[in-house]
Amino acid sequence: MKTTIAEHLVALLKRQGVEYVFGIPGGDWIPYMDAMEKAGVRFVLVANEASAAFMATAYAWLSGRVGACYATFGPGATNLTTGIGSALLDRSAVIAFTNEQPSSMVGRTVQMGLDHQALMRPLTKWTTSLSAANIDAVFANAIRIATSEQPGPVHIGIPAGIAHDACEATEAAPTASPRLEEPAPGYAASMAGFLSGRRKPILAVGFTALRFGLGPLIAAIAERHRIPVVVTPMAKGIMDEDHPLFAGVLMHALSDRVAMTYCQADVVIAVGYDPVEFNYEEWMPQVPLLSIDPAPADIDPRRYPDVLGIGGQPRPVLEALLAMKPVPSDWDLEALRARTEGMRALFAGSDKCFGPLAVLNTLRELLPEDGILACDVGAHSHLIGQAWKTHHPYGLLISNGWSSMGFGVPAAIAAKLAQPDKKVVCVTGDGGFMMMAGEMATAARLNLPVVFVIMADRSLSLIRIKQDKHGCQTESTVLSSEDIPGLGNVFGVPVLTVRTAQAYRSCLAEALEASGPTIIEAVIDPCEYDDLVLRKHSWSQSEQE
CA distances to 93, 262, 424, 447 from 420, in Å: 21, 39, 9, 11
Residues contacting 470, CB < 8 A, separation 6+: none
Please check the confidence at residue 482 and state whether its pLDDT lies above 70: no
**What integer is the mean pLDDT of 231-258?**
95
CA distances to 196, 217, 292, 315, 319 from 325, in Å: 11, 16, 18, 18, 12
Neighbour tally for 79: CB within 10 Å: 18
How do residues 55-105 score in pLDDT, each as one tens digit?
999 999 999 999 999 999 999 999 999 999 999 999 999 999 999 977 766
Q: What is the pLDDT of residue 541?
A: 41
Please check the confidence at residue 360 and state whether its pLDDT lies above 50: yes
Q: What is the pLDDT of residue 539?
A: 47
Indicate the domain borders of the chain.
2-168, 187-342, 347-532
Contact in structure between 347 and 380 (CB atoms under 8 Å): no
Give the pLDDT band (50/70/90) at residue 543.
very low
How do residues 296-339 score in pLDDT, each as one tens digit?
999 999 999 999 999 999 999 999 999 999 999 999 999 999 99
Distance CA 219, CA 446 (A): 39
Distance CA 93, CA 503 (A): 41
Identify the CATH number of the domain defined by range 187-342: 3.40.50.1220
Contact in structure between 91 and 208 (CB atoms under 8 Å): yes
Among the listed ranges 143-152, 206-215, 333-342, 477-486, which one has the minimum average pLDDT value? 477-486
Query: Architecture of 2-168 per CATH?
Result: 3-Layer(aba) Sandwich (3.40)
Residue 497 three-state SS: strand
Q: Give the CATH fold of the 347-532 domain.
A: Rossmann fold (3.40.50)
How are beta strands 489-490 and 493-498 bridged, if at all?
Answer: antiparallel
How do residues 425-472 score in pLDDT, each as one tens digit?
999 998 899 999 999 999 999 999 999 999 998 655 455 555 555 566
Residues contacting 502, CB < 8 A, separation 6+: none
Q: What is the pLDDT of residue 114?
A: 83
Please check the confidence at residue 294 and state whether its pLDDT lies above 70: yes
How are beta strands 372-375 and 424-429 bridged, if at all?
Answer: parallel
Residues contacting 459, CB < 8 A, separation 6+: 431, 474, 477, 478, 479, 526
Q: What is the pLDDT of residue 168?
A: 86
Contact in structure between 494 and 488 (CB atoms under 8 Å): yes
Give the pLDDT band (50/70/90) at residue 474.
low
Give the pLDDT band (50/70/90) at residue 542.
very low
Q: What is the pLDDT of residue 527?
A: 80
Distance CA 369, CA 262 (A): 28
Please check the confidence at residue 481 and state whether its pLDDT lies above 80: no
Reported as type and span, the H/E element at residue 205 is: strand 201-205
Distance CA 484, CA 427 (A): 15
How are beta strands 518-523 and 493-498 bridged, if at all?
Answer: parallel
Neighbour tally for 234: CB within 10 Å: 27
Distance, CA of 209 to chain centre: 14
Q: Strand locations in 24-159, DSSP E?
A: 42-45, 67-71, 94-100, 126-129, 153-159
In sequence order, what are the beta bridge partners of 248? Answer: 230
**What integer is the mean pLDDT of 229-250?**
97
Residues contacting 78, CB < 8 A, separation 6+: 114, 119
Please check the confidence at residue 528 and state whether its pLDDT lies above 90: no
Q: Edge-to-edge, what's the strand order for the sheet holding 289-292?
A: 246-249, 229-231, 201-205, 267-271, 289-292, 307-310
509 or 352, which is more confident: 509
CA distances to 150, 172, 185, 493 from 178, in Å: 11, 17, 21, 43
Distance CA 310, CA 268 (A): 14
Assess whether the region 2-168 and the region 347-532 belong to the same CATH fold: yes
Q: For the chain, give the mean pLDDT.
A: 91
